[in-house]
Structure 1
């Protein structure tokens, strides 16, 4: 998004200007960082992650420091006296030493304790120190549900700062003990190098932990892998991953700012100009570094999916990046590809109609009614600043909203991140240029650890009203200066009401909205 009358500065562009990079040596890693000598037994210093958790299954992730056989043991208690053993894959350089093991036949609504061992493939008796984790399976009946969401990690050059204790926001989210964490895209900033230090406006220096791969924009598979690996140097994130399963989606910075399929880059930082080549490499690294079963190690598969979390919640995870058309002024009167692509839109309409969950939460990696520019004339998200009838990508969203109304689908709530501040939008046909939809709420939060930015303008096509917004007054406010946010969703198991709380980086509640099940126009 541009600011003022000077050169256009992307909301998620690489840090420059007053927060310039100061020449300094790379810092040593945190005391508990996962660097290990290649001697003795296999090590799993990058921690563990759980994902794709259902009422009876889950997917466990680990990274080894060498070739090893992945073994997972599960138990109802942390004592592991009656452990069940799961034999996983042999991990090696073809997956950057990452591996995933699927667990099945788990009891619903229960705390599952697990530990991952890495065994020497030539001597299975030689195993490394086990790495422990835990997660709760989804309930089979009506039980309380709680999850948190946010996005945008290590953006604008703001990386892991040991002076501030690293990514502290994950510790505040962990203390809420949520059932899962929805990461709403920009899980890494592959296009954002991490300098050793940054001169802060007004004086002082921000220091970063650095790595070789994060010294430049990611182009090779090794550099993309290094971008995903960088965040796991943080103690808080590894501790969070060991307790809270992750539902992950991607957006643009996993590849490059504001990218779209078929784009040819005009950027001197890149020797590889074909964004499709870069996206394929990033997708492979993305599939290796998260426990996501719809992605395969070769990078094939898809990100969009629906997760069923008991009778109260279905979570629809969208991909607004892979299938979109080129960014443009967004004024076309016909646009079938839009931001979702035809196939994903058909899937979403079908699955929403099939859902019997009380709440259908739509995890969107971009907001609907906030104007997010891409340069002086093009637009990056759905809205394009014209408050009239739907045009361009808005046509696809209008079709979806019309479908939700006419099929009498209740309980839809939209969650997103991307814009680096937090807000709540209520959309109402009584205020809209397009009126054939039922009122709904959209909640925005983030970033996790990136620059904070001023609020975007609202587009009136779908009649948004903004009862709450908290955003910095200036661009690229660093973490730790009241500029980082996350959200919490709690669903009451007995009455079914859904409560959204928007929180600051320390966990303080900034805004609360309670929604009643089955009620239209809240």
Structure 2
């Protein structure tokens, strides 16, 4: 299946296809001298009868680059609104069309397109594409979720995080795009606002973003990677954010690098808007991004529920061991209540909870002392205890937690006693390694594993992603490693497998 149109031929392809599109009018008005669909296409938020389609028009021939032209204006000029046609079909050749329509790409949202296509059939593959003027996008493939009462017996998805653009090639996404998957879940740090480390294979080409157009440019740079585009075009995605989408280690309204809170909240709103403009999430009408909800719940037949949590936007500032009580919340009061309600209503055989990091306790100090990373769940123990109590109180049949953030692969048992190795096991947890971001030393990870008996596995010596295959009697997690993130011709292979058995929480190394 060809998921990407050859850029050198996009004009010819667009003109040849113009006669078969079931739309008319202003969609055909624009003329381009370079590919406006150079950031690719994506889909996401699959429901049994709907899916979100995404693309963004860019105008490389007419936008000045302030980093190469010092006399160019800092703010790039706005282009007028443009009509963009979209089409969904049963086949890649679009001989059997299903749905079509027109969406308005406006400069207020960086000419991004978010189409919530409804009226689709459950649990089936579709193909989609966009057209604007004489240009046609690459073809994407997406899949709707099974119906809520479907007796489906298998569902497979990849989960990934931490893809610092400069520190490696996206070999992991090239491999992912070729896998037999139903979905991709991204758990945060999709972009990095900072440049750090050495031996870069490519460059951000600009400084740290603080303004809307700068965050837009950073997202566009990441989206320009062809391997990332292939993975987006191959499957629907569910997406979360962590901290680097805004600034490292921020929490709620507090940033370690922005001491003036009102200025930081303006920066945060700009980052949230740029994130929305580049992700396959449902369309919104408002341009106010002082808050933006990313947590949500998705069902895949009676086999699997997938719940996504936002651990950044609503957390209490200033975590620490000296703080106690309800103030130490990672999720905020409203999201905690929503999580309680969502878990109470869960009827699926397996419940996967996706959030950006590791929930299990992680003592970093060898020996009798203790030391914790306070930006993680260890700094919000009351919030973690409430989350685990909810899982236990609602008697979730097979809870499995997934995360990222740590630039290392982990597998852990989550115990009743707030993430320690005490009490019964109530859930299983898997943290995926980084796509490219610099890892900790393996010796440090080995020391952490020795200090924390509930952590059953830890590996930071390879980069990659993870695949979860859910079946009725068990769930398997495969860790996929990359041979060398600095090598554009690197290979990928599964290097470790785990299983969780139905009704028996805890990780089992295969």
Please give the range of the TM-score, normalised by the shorter of the 2 chains: 0.7 to 0.9
Contact 2:129 2:136 in 1 (8 A): no
Q: Which runs of 5 or more structure 2 residues have no equivalent in the other structure?
A: 1-5, 12-29, 60-80, 365-370, 483-490
Residue 502 of structure 1: aligned partner: 479
SS of the aligned residue for 2:58 comes to: coil
Change in CA separation of 1:193 and 1:413 when aligned onto 2, cut-off 3 Å: same
Contact 1:59 1:102 in 2 (8 A): yes
Residue 515 of structure 1: aligned partner: 500
**How many angstroms does 1:357 deviate by?**
1.0
Residue 269 of structure 2: aligned partner: 280
Residue 322 of structure 1: aligned partner: 313
Residue 99 of structure 1: aligned partner: 113
**How many angstroms does 1:294 deviate by?**
7.7
Deviations along 1:55-79, one digit per CA (max 9) or x if unpaired, are 2110100111354212111111122
Q: Which moved more, 1:75-84 or 1:53-62?
A: 75-84
Contact 1:34 1:45 in 2 (8 A): no
SS of the aligned residue for 1:134 comes to: strand
**Mapped partners of 1:62, 1:382: distance in 2:** 35
Residue 102 of structure 2: aligned partner: 88
Contact 1:372 1:381 in 2 (8 A): no
**How many angstroms does 1:175 deviate by?**
1.5
Q: Which moved more, 1:83-92 or 1:143-152?
A: 83-92
Residue of structure 1 aligned with 2:280, choices 267, 291, 294: 291
Q: Which moved more, 1:63-72 or 1:91-100?
A: 63-72
Residue of structure 2 aligned with 1:397, choices 384, 387, 407: 384
Residue 470 of structure 2: aligned partner: 491
Deviations along 1:203-223, one digit per CA (max 9) or x if unpaired, are xxx431544xxx111111000
SS of the aligned residue for 2:136 comes to: coil
**Mapped partners of 1:43, 1:112: distance in 2:** 23
Contact 2:316 2:327 in 1 (8 A): no
**Structure having the larger proportion of residues in helix:** 2
**How many angstroms does 1:182 deviate by?**
0.7
Q: Within 5 A, what are the aligned runs for 1:327-406? A: 327-371=318-362, 379-384=374-379, 393-406=380-393
TM normalised by structure 2 equals: 0.78
Matched, 1:145 2:155: yes
Between the two proteins, the alignment pairs up a number of residues equal to 441
Q: Which runs of 5 or more structure 1 residues have no equivalent in the other structure?
A: 1-30, 120-126, 160-165, 201-205, 385-392, 473-482
Matched, 1:173 2:176: yes
Residue 53 of structure 2: aligned partner: 60
CA RMSD of aligned residues (A): 3.2
Matched, 1:186 2:195: no
**Mapped partners of 1:33, 1:453: distance in 2:** 42
Change in CA separation of 1:469 and 1:421 when aligned onto 2, cut-off 3 Å: same
Residue 135 of structure 2: aligned partner: 128
Change in CA separation of 1:130 and 1:259 when aligned onto 2, cut-off 3 Å: closer
**Mapped partners of 1:174, 1:234: distance in 2:** 13
**How many angstroms does 1:425 deviate by?**
0.9
Change in CA separation of 1:319 and 1:431 when aligned onto 2, cut-off 3 Å: closer
